[in-house]
Structure 1
Amino acid sequence: MSSSGKSKKGGSRPSSNPSGRGLKVRVKTAARRSNSSARWLNRQLNDPYVQEAKKRGYRGRAAFKIAQIDDKFKIFKKNSRIVDLGCAPGGWCQVAVERCGPGAHIVGMDLQEVEPIAGVVLLQGDFMDDDAPARLKAELNGPADIVLSDMAAAATGHPQTDHLRIMGLMETALMFAEEVLVPGGSFIGKVLQGGAQAELLKLVKTKFKSVRHFKPDSSRKDSSEMFLVATGFKQN
């Protein structure tokens, strides 16, 4: 869809792809810059999604991940009520506001302080704290149409440990989603390569009509992340 396209069900839906190729930037290794930092800077400067995020005022390239998930699964609707867990720096919230319109009610939470976003209630805190669900529910003040989770524990460098930790976050986010989602609601959560563990995936399939794994084009090819997209919540 073109950048001026409109959705009958949601707000404005700009293209979730970069608008064109930027000029190639070459980064030299300075005296105080290691080879690894030069490679990282080179990747950032030449990443089309990083460049496009700057053009559009998004707070990071991750905004395109949720935009491409929405393009594929059509989760955002006009005036949706949304919870965004692990929302820093705020790119997912920006896309949600953009696509759901000014009538949307969006609540985000993150360990880090997030700069204000028009149309979004932002809470600083650890979602794993005992009082976090109650704080979110108080601000939501009603059921949610969508629960998003881009939460990830700090990497340990040990793939199996990292996988277990992110699965723990996913399971907790899913439990919260079950408490707040309306019938037919959606849950999107980050997992690592290989997807959700069999037992968790089996559980999710009992709660939602459709469950898919999806890796957006904007997710770097060398990244092990992918997303579990569950739609059609079946409220007990």
Structure 2
Amino acid sequence: MKRTRTSKAWMQEHVNDHFVQQAKKDGWRSRAAFKLMEIDDKDKLLKRGEVVVDLGATPGGWSQVAVERVGDSGLVFALDLLEMAPIRGVHFIQGDFREESVLAELENLLGARQVGLVMSDMAPNISGMAVTDQARMMYLAELGLEFSRAHLKPDGAFLVKVFQGRDYEAFVKTMRETFCSVQVRKPEASRDRSPEVYLLGRGLR
């Protein structure tokens, strides 16, 4: 398939991106690692010994950061529709989080453990149709929130990527009904032109 001018421009921007180059240099699997590190440096989410669930984990940048920061006494469970190369200390499930059987597999791995941090970098395959893409994105965010309600410990946190647009304000309202504190994070590694922001909810109501 012949590349369009848009895809060529994106690839050029990606290759020249400071965070992409730094990720390769430092051994991180993706530039997303810098997003999580910046948020965690500010909000202190990844504590030693913490149980963490990473939704939408592939290629593994967030899981790499998480497993390093929670240490050997912590646990990281990662899930993605796509295959992910193994990371030492990360328990990975390949499957669609929208499917009940995949959710059940994750819950079986967790057992009776309460989770300290649920982080979701899940995003749909972009169709180019803004309304459709936004609806799919918010649905994934809602699934992550539902999981968090069921599995977070009382003082736990939920970090989720969303796109600003339709239903964004409604989702923020639901987050505020669920958590004592809700804050918006836009890390430096998140491209300025991207509609993505991260919502951080802390302390279940």
Q: Which residue of 1 aligns with 2:18?
A: 48
Q: Which residue of 2 aligns with 1:92?
A: 62
Distance 1:37 1:231, change over 3 A: same
Q: Give the structure-1-normalised TM-score.
A: 0.80
Q: CA deviation at 1:38?
A: 4.3
Query: In 2, Cα distance between the equivalents of 1:67 and 1:176?
Result: 23
Q: Structure 2: which 5+ runs fail to align?
A: none
Q: Structure 1: which 5+ runs fail to align?
A: 1-31
Q: Which residue of 2 aligns with 1:188?
A: 159
Q: CA deviation at 1:37?
A: 4.7
Q: Percent identity?
A: 42
Alignment of 1:1-236 (within 5 A): 35-141=5-111, 142-194=113-165, 197-234=168-205
Query: Given that residues 77 and 92 in structure 2 are in contact (C-alpha distance below 8 angstroms), is that contact kept between their aligned partners in structure 1?
Result: yes
Task: State the one-letter code of the partner of 2:52.
Answer: I
Q: Which has the larger radius of gyration?
A: 1
Report SS of the residue matched to 1:103: coil
Query: Given that residues 54 and 119 in structure 2 are in contact (C-alpha distance below 8 angstroms), is that contact kept between their aligned partners in structure 1?
Result: yes
Report SS of the residue matched to 2:100: coil
Q: Give the structure-2-normalised TM-score.
A: 0.92
Q: Which residue of 2 aligns with 1:28?
A: none
Distance 1:131 1:71, change over 3 A: same
Task: State the one-letter code of the partner of 1:127.
Answer: F
Q: CA deviation at 1:132?
A: 2.1
Q: CA deviation at 1:222?
A: 1.7
Q: How many residues align?
A: 203
Coordinate RMSD, CA, aligned = 1.8
Structure having the higher helix fraction is 2
Query: Given that residues 141 and 161 in structure 2 are in contact (C-alpha distance below 8 angstroms), is that contact kept between their aligned partners in structure 1?
Result: yes
Query: Given that residues 195 and 226 in structure 1 are in contact (C-alpha distance below 8 angstroms), is that contact kept between their aligned partners in structure 2?
Result: no
Distance 1:33 1:173, change over 3 A: closer
Task: State the one-letter code of the partner of 2:61.
Answer: G
Task: State the one-letter code of the partner of 2:100.
Answer: D
**4+ residue runs over 6 A deviation:** none
Report SS of the residue matched to 1:131: helix
